Structure 1
Amino acid sequence: MNTYSLYSLYGTLCTEFFDLDKPTPPPLEYEFYKNYVEQAPGEILEPMCGTGRYLIPLCESGFNVHGFDASTHMLNALRTKCAQKGLSPKVWHDFIDTVRTNLLYSLIFIPDSSFVLFLTNEEIIRSLQKLYSLLKPGGIFVFDVETIYAAPSKIGLWQGKAHTRPDGSFILLNTLPLALEDDKATVICRYELCDKGSVIKTEIEYFKIKLYRPGEMMALLEKIGFSSIKEIKAFDPHKIPSAQDYTIVYECIK
């Protein structure tokens, strides 16, 4: 099964709910990554760009950011929004471990802890090696991951939220966190499109992520060959992480 075995299955309801629930990036995270974009001397790439939550506002600010994603549904949503805004960024469907591009990049960034979708050491190392190969000498790869301290606390309890669509129907999301297993967190997600008291469509997804223990990601990055690796407190470039932070940022220089 491909590296993005779960991510590539993101369906239409999941994609639409994501855009309704998270239409813009969190300001602190956005400014953190935008600072790297502003300083990049050459081409910029956002793998796993999703529906363009970061890519689109960066392009609107005048930056030439390329992106790719494994989910055709999310890419379709990105392209629709770009067309509405008169934007035409270079985006394409691809997987990190098989990405096809002749360009080398000065900056590669993956926000929103999307990298935790890689579950095995083999997948993680293969993806890191590919990203390393896409960087120019001196290029920067910056990304954030969730730690073991971000594990769900309410195991076995359904939780829900809903968003109304422009036509008056709504999408209901129910989530069920399962017990942690081998540092993998799994959540069952049930998306339901509801209208006039009836469920019109249902999508079920098993959302699984890898949570990292202290020092674990640093050890993996050291195997890749980066000339410099720095741990950063999320999302403060002037601080180092605390012992039990939920999220850690990594800045890696080729």
Structure 2
Amino acid sequence: MTKLDDWYDHPQYFDMVFRDETPAEVAFFKEAFDRYCDAPVQRLVEPGCGSGRLVAALAGEGYQCCGLDLSEPMLRYLRSRLRRRGLAAEVIQGDMIDMPVGDQIFDAAFCTFNTFRHLSNDDDAVKHLRRVADHVRTGGLYLLGFHIIPMDADPECTERWQASAGGTKVHVTLKVIDFDRKQRRETLRVSIKATRRSGAVHRVRSEFPLRLYTASQTKRLLAKVADVWTIREIFDFDYDIDSPRKFDDDLTDALFVLQRTGD
């Protein structure tokens, strides 16, 4: 029997898709903290933490972590993961625009793999960046990663990949089903076929819009928050701390190291 539903309600599949990236991301984060922060980094927050793979991994490295997400299934999965590993982290259900973390101040924040692009307009993006700044100390960092769409991007892009864990194999297809450069929106369809050890098949599908950014649009956005964030360096998703990138039209997989400026 097959079932078709939303992948955000099935964190185990969501997690399998991205887990191979975790070691490289964690290693890069630690190097960036050492290289760009003017004081030791201990307290971290991830807006839009999803299944919490990075929160759990960094908690396992000894950091005090806070994960924030709207999806209760994702947060339940994160809480269960932390219990299984004997780890502690704060888990909050809430919107990354408002950042409902009380009066906490963190040494650094991070948000990677296009979560930022779920913010559908510049007003929400600017509000988010300012709210994160409210909760990061002066000199602290925001590691912000998302895809920048070149002007010659193929609007009919389809990607496929596979992952497996615990006897379950997943086949993932990511397809752009609508691309509107004028409205700065692309709609993605993610389809997952999960085959369990028993042979049972579970099908999951989600469709959601993401905000489009060119390099020049990204520059204009970050200029609006230049009073609270300065760009210390830019990298791509290779996570090579010794290979920074230029902020030009060739930049597509962008990871910005933003530093909190003084008040």
TM bucket (normalised to shorter chain) is 0.7 to 0.9
If the length of structure 1 is used for normalisation, what is the TM-score? 0.79
The whole-number CA distance in structure 1 between the counterparts of 2:187 and 2:221 is 23
| Cα deviation, residue 174, structure 1 | 4.1
8 A contact 2:178–2:188 mirrored in 1: no
Partner Cα separation in structure 2 for residue 141 and residue 53 of structure 1 = 18
- Gaps of at least 5 residues in structure 1 are 1-8
Code of the residue aligned with 1:79 in structure 2: it is R
What secondary structure does 2:234 align onto?
strand
Cα distance, 1:151 vs. partner?
A: 8.4
In 2: Cα distance, 1:85 partner to 1:49 partner:
18
What displacement does 1:95 show? 0.9
Moved more, 180-189 or 236-245: 236-245
Q: Which residue of 2 aligns with 1:31?
A: 27
Q: 1:104, CA displacement in angstroms?
A: 1.2
Letter in 2 for 1:103: Q
| Aligned-partner SS, 1:244 | coil
Residue pairs, 1:79-228, within 5 angstroms: 79-100=79-100, 101-149=102-150, 153=154, 155=156, 166=166, 173-182=172-181, 183-192=184-193, 202-224=203-225, 225-226=227-228, 228=230
RMSD: 3.0
Matched, 1:11 2:16: no
In structure 2, how many angstroms separate the alpha carbons of the residues matched to 1:24 and 1:160?
15
* Aligned positions, number: 242
Q: Distance in 2 between matches of 1:129 and 1:227?
A: 9
SS state of the match for residue 229, structure 1? strand
Is 2:14 the counterpart of 1:22? Answer: no
- SS state of the match for residue 149, structure 1? coil
Q: Residue 240 of structure 1 aligns with which residue? A: 245
Distance 1:81 1:150 in 2: 41
Give distance in 1, aligned partners of 2:108 and 2:219: 19
* Aligned amino acid, residue 240 of structure 1: R
Q: Which residue of 1 aligns with 2:66?
A: 66
- Percent of pairs with identical residues: 18
* Unpaired runs of at least 5, structure 2: 1-5
1:55/1:65 contact within 8 Å kept: yes
Q: How far apart are 1:162 and its partner, in Å?
A: 5.7
TM-score, structure 2 normalization: 0.77
**Residues in 1 aligned to 2:121 and 2:209: alpha-carbon distance in whole angstroms:** 12
CA distance in 2, matches of 1:37, 1:83: 27
Any idea what the Cα deviations from partners look like across 1:82-132, whole Å, max 9, x if unmatched? 111111211211111222221111211112232122121121112112112
